[in-house]
Each structure stands twice: as C-alpha cells, then as structure tokens.
C-alpha cells in the first residue's frame, strides 16, 4: 500500500484530523482500524463513538493530534434522528429486544412539540443500559450483554436546540444540537415516556462535531491514501474554538522546556482558560492554560519538536 507519510518518512510530519462519514452496521473501532492501516506507523483514534446503527461524522485524530481528542469530544454535535412511537426496547433503539409501549394513536403534532420543549437546556438524563458509561470499571453495555440491569444515575447534559422535522405517526424525526455526553436514544426514550406510549430510535445521523461537517467528510468506502491525504486537516482544527497566541522561537523553546511565558500583547476573552500556541510557521505547537491572575501561560499540551 502507498504510504501516507511525507517523503521524509518522519511520522512527526503526519499529524492532523479527518472526518469520516460512517455507514450503518460498522463500529467506530472498525473505522479507526481502517484509518490506522493507511497511516501506519502513526497512531489514530476517534473522538466520540457512534453506535453501529448510526451514520455520519466520526472524527479521527492522527499522530500527535490524538492528544487533542478530548477537545474534539467537547464540541457541539448536531443530529437527525428518527423514532417510532408505541415501542420500548432494552437498548432504547430498534436493535434491541423490542416490546409494546402502548397506544400512540391519539398523539398529535402539538403534543409532540409541547413535550419536546421540556428537553431544551440543561437536563438530567439517564444513559441507556447499553452505553459506554463506566460502572465499577466496566462498560455498561458489557454488563447489559450479560443480562445485568445496571442502576445508572442521571447526569446533566445540555441540549441547545431540538425541533420536529417530520411527523407521520407512529414515526417522527428530530433535528437537535447538543453538548458532550448527550444520548439521543435517551431523548427519544424519555420523550416517549412523557407521551405515555414509549418510543425507540430507528436511525441516527450525526451531521456535525464542532467544526467538522458531514459535507466535508470522506465516505468510509472511499477511504484510501489519496482521499485521506486530501481531507486531512491540521491539528489546530481540533481546538478551533480556543483563542490563539502567536509565539516566537524563544517562547516556543521555553514552552517545550516546561516554562511559562507571558500572556502576550493581545488580551484573551475573560471566559477563556486555555489558548492554542502557534509558532512562526503558523503551526500548532500545543495548548497552554491561561493564568490571568499571574499574567502568564502555563504549558499544558506541547507537541515534540520536528527534527
């Protein structure tokens, strides 16, 4: 297989982020494995799991950019989800053990719109039994597969917007934007409970993760050296929301030695607590914590220097 590495063969030169359009039926791990084969020996990792049922944007970080995965995971996400009233399942979607949920025939669009309004803002949500939440050191889905019912605690998540885009009972479709840790399956489940008839998710498509959009994602079946090279974005895209601080060579050297530097001439937004560090070649060298009271930047994540 043709190598994705530059002519120098330096793995340090292969670092960035690519958005892959995941098809249904595959795990997120399978997507990453395909990317890893292309970029080997550089490492690869995904930012935010998509269930096999789901399709859409799966962001894969490569090389040093894997150190920025947590930032990508914190980005807002936009979805289109389809649901069916009158059913319940142990997975909260159509892939689980499905049972009757109750009579849905009297549910109107107005009732659905009114119920949806309760799911906007910071809400407390119980994750699905089949989820990646850790329970006593194990994933909840691993326990659920062994027939164990886990007492999962409600967690605060944020839903920025949600609207009904189609209503053809018993089916309906939602478009929503939410923060990290939100389970769209749980929104459908809880909405169905509120309506008194149950509901399961039948499909899900992730449209965006932070600045990464499905319109610019590489279809999984088209992934190869050429398409990945063309779609690879610089690591700084992973932290596009952070303010930037340009550093000169002496400051870059100091940061790589673990030393602090001054805040610089351009003031940071009061809400900012971290900054992206950009060198004279307009490359990301890392992330620093803003210590406003001490008028300094403390190195937090610093990439190794290229040789």
Give the residue numbers annotated as catalytic, written as ranges: 51
| Residues 6 or more apart whose Cβ sits within 8 Å of residue 25 | 52
- Strand 284-291's sheet: what is its strand order? 244-246, 274-278, 284-291, 296-302, 261-262
Nearest CA to 277 out of 304, 300, 244 is that of 244
The residues that bridge with 46 in the sheet, in sequence order, are: 60
Nearest CA to 264 out of 281, 283, 247, 284 is that of 247
Q: Is the dihedral of CA 188, 141, 72, 17 positive or negative?
A: negative
Residues 92 and 204: their CA atoms lie apart, in Å, by: 12
| Residues 6 or more apart whose Cβ sits within 8 Å of residue 126 | 152, 153, 154, 155, 186, 190
CB-CB neighbours of 231 under 10 Å = 17
Nearest CA to 218 out of 60, 42, 21, 2 is that of 21
């Amino acid at each position: 297989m043709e190598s994705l590495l530059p002519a120098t063969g330096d793995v340090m030169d292969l670092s960035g982020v690519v958005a892959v359009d995941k098809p249904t039926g595959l795990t997120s791990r399978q997507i990453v494995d395909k990317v890893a084969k292309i970029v080997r020996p550089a490492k690869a990792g995904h930012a935010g799991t998509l269930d096999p049922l789901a399709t859409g944007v799966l962001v894969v970080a490569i090389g040093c950019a894997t150190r920025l995965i947590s930032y990508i995971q914190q980005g807002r996400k936009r979805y289109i989800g389809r649901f069916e009233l009158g059913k319940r399942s142990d997975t909260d979607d159509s892939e689980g053990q499905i049972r009757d949920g109750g009579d849905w025939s009297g549910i109107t669009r107005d009732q659905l719109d009114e119920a949806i309004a309760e799911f906007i803002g910071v809400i407390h949500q119980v994750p699905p039994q089949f989820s990646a939440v850790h329970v006593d050191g194990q994933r909840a889905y691993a326990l659920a597969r062994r027939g164990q019912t886990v007492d999962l605690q409600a967690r605060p998540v944020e839903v920025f917007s949600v609207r009904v885009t189609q209503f053809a009972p018993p089916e309906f479709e939602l478009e929503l934007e939410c923060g990290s840790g939100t389970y769209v399956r749980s929104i459908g489940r809880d909405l169905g409970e509120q309506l008194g008839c149950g509901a399961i998710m039948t499909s899900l498509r992730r449209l965006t993760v932070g600045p990464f959009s499905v319109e610019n994602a590489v279809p999984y079946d088209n992934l190869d050296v050429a398409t990945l090279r063309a779609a690879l974005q610089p690591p700084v895209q992973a932290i596009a929301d952070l303010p930037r601080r340009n550093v000169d060579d002496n400051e870059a050297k100091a940061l790589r030695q673990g030393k602090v530097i001054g805040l610089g001439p351009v003031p940071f937004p009061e809400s900012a607590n971290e900054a992206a560090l950009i060198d004279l070649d307009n490359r990301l060298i890392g992330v620093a914590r803003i210590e406003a009271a001490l008028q300094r930047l403390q190195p937090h994540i610093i990439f190794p220097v290229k040789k």
